[in-house]
Every structure is written in C-alpha cells, then in structure tokens.
Amino acid sequence: MGFRSLARSLAVTTILAAAAATPVFAQQQPAAKPPAQAEPAPPAPGQQQAVPGQSQPQAPGTVKSNHGAWSVVCDKPAGASAEQCALMQNVIAEDRPEVGLSVVVLKTADRKSKILRVLAPLGVLLPNGLGLNVDGKDIGRAYFVRCFADGCYAEVVLEDELLKTFRSGTSATFIVFQTPEEGIGIPVDLKGFAEGYDALP
C-alpha cells in the first residue's frame, strides 16, 4: 500500500495525558463546529525529530514491548503518581510524506475508560473529521479536538464493540480530508493489536 511505519516527533507525555469521556465514532456528518472536548497538553519543548526508517517513537518514554506493528510505550507525566502506558503505531505515506498518522490507545488514569487518540497532520480539513474503516466496513467519523504544531488530534472513547472490531480485524483505514471531496485513506496494520492491548497495564 506504499505505507511504512515511521516515528513521528511526538511527546509521549502529550499522548499519555489523561482524557475525559469523549464521543464515539458517529455515522452522521460532523458539525462544522464540534463541541468542546478535553484537550491534550501541548507537546514538550525540545522533543526529538523523527528519524526515517525507524519504527519506534523517538520521543521521551520507554518502549516496554513490541507486538506486530504496535508498541507499548510508557512514561511518567509531570505530576502523575504512576507511570502511564499507551499502545502506539505510527504510519506515513512513502509517496506523500506530509500525510501520516499516529494512532494511540490508552486507558484513563481511573481505568474506567479506554481512549483512541489519533494525531493527523496539519492541513487536514477539520469539519470533515476523521473517518474510520475496518476490513471494508465503514465505522464512522470522529471530531478533531485541537491542533498543535505537530498536527491535529481526534479522540473517541474506545467502546467494547469497536475494541472487538480492532482485536479481530486485519487492517484499519483512517481517512483524512484535504478538501471536502478528497479523502486520503491511511491504512493501519491491526496485526498484534490484541496482544499489545492485553499487555497494557
């Protein structure tokens, strides 16, 4: 598909920031002005740049284990009493290096919710949201929450049904829009997702 795993310059403390309850993927078109949601913290200054050809995140944090295309990355955010971990995969188009995604799954600090957080590149059309298709089945769209210097975040609660779909699926395609008519599908390998999710503390 012309995609390969690639590290993106992300601060793990941003990725692992505790999130409040957020919407699930919705089948209807998102509104032009999505409701305010919990916002991730800004990226830490001085984070390292991505190095082409490497598949592990280069931001601060420790890679605890690798599971197929996914990695469990842990860090202790400032002010947190315990280490937080997330399951991550980073992909980018070889023929369109400006279009890439970081997909992160984490549990909230209270362990009551599971969050799917996706970082899309700057320049995407925000009102169209982020589309998701798993093994040919349209799942719906999610709102973008906020943009930082490294891209724009979409975030949803990873409900049991969607979690089952990810665990049993082969390939997910996240869709970003650069114009209302032009959707760009970015495939994410689901191999190792179930094993990696089970390894999350």
* Banded model confidence at residue 97, pLDDT cuts 50, 70, 90: confident
Question: What average pLDDT is seen over the chain?
Answer: 76
**Cβ atoms within 10 A of the Cβ of 119, count?**
24
Question: Is the separation of the CB atoms in 164 and 133 below 8 Å?
Answer: no
- pLDDT tens profile 72-93: 999 987 777 788 899 999 998 6
Conformational region of residue 60, where left means phi above 0, alpha means psi within -120 to 50, and beta covers everything else:
beta
- Mean pLDDT across the stretch 149-177? 94
CATH classification code of 3-32+51-199: 2.60.40.1880
- Domain-wise residue ranges, the chain: 3-32+51-199
Q: What Rg, from alpha-carbon coordinates, does the chain have?
A: 15
* pTM of the model as a whole: 0.71
Handedness of CA 185, 186, 187, 193 (dihedral sign): negative
- Mean pLDDT across the stretch 112-122? 92
